[in-house]
Amino acid sequence: MTDVAATKSTRTAEAENLERLTTAPFTPKADRGSEIELSFATTETCELSCVFCHFNGPNATKKAKTLAPDLVKKGLEQVPAGKTVHFAATGDFFQDPSALDHLRESTKRGHTPNVLSHGQSMPPERLEEMLAMGIREFRFSVDHIEPRQYAKIRRGGDLEKVLSTIGYLRERKAQIPDINVEVNCILIGDAKARMQEFTDFWSTRVDAIYFHAEYYDTLKFRNLFWMPEKRNDCHIQLYVLPSGQITPCCAMMVQAHEVETPWLPNIATTSLKDAYDQLCDMYEDPSSELGKVCAKCQWWVMWSEPKDGCTPYHKTIRFDEADRSPAGGAVDFVKSLVSNVTRRIAKSLGVAHPTA
């Protein structure tokens, strides 16, 4: 059997097994005791056309909506000081003309904003403005370490631009030690086979790398880290879309772009608490519009209990300063996990937007 045939056979078996687990009898139960986590995806506009993107990809229907600033402010008013608020986009956050205003409003209210971007539109002046207002958490979506392969995936993107931005933040970290720079990497193409090489590459450039299984066909996954034995519940979170609609998860962010979803709560008319309660109710009701989507959705793998340092969907490798190799060698994963899991695991599992 050729390697190609073996790969196809493995993928087919994985897909069939995951489909079987997803459609098996399951009674969903929302964890209503969880603290509400809020993310804004403020715009669908993007200057790239990534091959996998359902919002701006080569075959995507582009809608280019942007969330009204007053609706962002309305959401921020409901978040207590000291909490993390995630700012991203189903396009790119910095294509929102009000992006910096949103961050300024959030920091003014005592939040800890976390910014996700593909990094193509973050010149030093913009970075300095964010640093001045207190932004310290930066995450970049970078799916390859070779410029040519990166450009094939992130069409219209330039890897050197991202590396320059990350390098600038790395230099500023010498004066501002609490800057935290991370990268997301979706396992597409040859990325899964080269994870160690990717880890070595990023070990002297960033504070952490997050590897993600590849989602495709809106609700399905492949290139998992391991196959779970049974389905588990999802965690309900709040993602405010450019339309103002509030979804409970990344999957519904994509679904809401693909089809009309008038039944989702909208931040213009619904409080975050009421939206959370409504989404929990719908998640637990198989006959609801949300329940019908959940019944066939494979994104539940995001929330499987970790095994061997990762979930089926997600693996985090953090790089401690003391462990960085001058030559770019990888940090031992177990040591990194033990030293950082208490502080980071909740955040890292809750903010994976493969759409940025």
What is the per-residue pLDDT across 150-166, written as a single tens digit (0 to 9) for each?
A: 999 999 999 999 999 99
Going from the C-alpha of 132 to that of each of 103, 121, 272, the distances in angstroms are 11, 18, 29
Q: Percent of the chain, pLDDT > 90?
A: 79
What is the per-residue DSSP string for 215-282? EETTTEEES-SS--SS--PPPP-EEE-TTSBEESSHHHHHHHHHS--TTS-BTTTS-HHHHHHHHHHH
Residue partners of 238: CB distance under 8 A and separation at least 6: 36, 37, 38, 39, 246, 247, 248, 272, 275, 276, 279
| Domain boundaries, given as residue ranges, for the chain | 3-350
Cα–Cα distance, 182 to 202 (Å, whole number):
9
Going from the C-alpha of 249 to that of each of 30, 35, 41, 291, the distances in angstroms are 13, 15, 12, 13
pLDDT value, residue 7: 55
- In the block, tokens 């409504």 appear at 278
Give the range among 50-54, 129-133, 179-183, 241-245 with minimum mean pLDDT: 50-54
243 pLDDT more than 90: yes
Higher pLDDT, 270 or 326: 270
pLDDT-derived band at 8 (thresholds 50, 70, 90) equals low
What is the per-residue pLDDT across 201-230, written as a single tens digit (0 to 9) for each?
A: 999 999 999 999 998 888 999 999 999 999
What is the per-residue pLDDT across 125-142, written as a single tens digit (0 to 9) for each?
A: 999 999 999 999 999 999
The CATH architecture that domain 3-350 belongs to is Alpha-Beta Barrel (3.20)
6 pLDDT more than 70: no
- pTM (2 d.p.): 0.87
pLDDT value, residue 3: 53
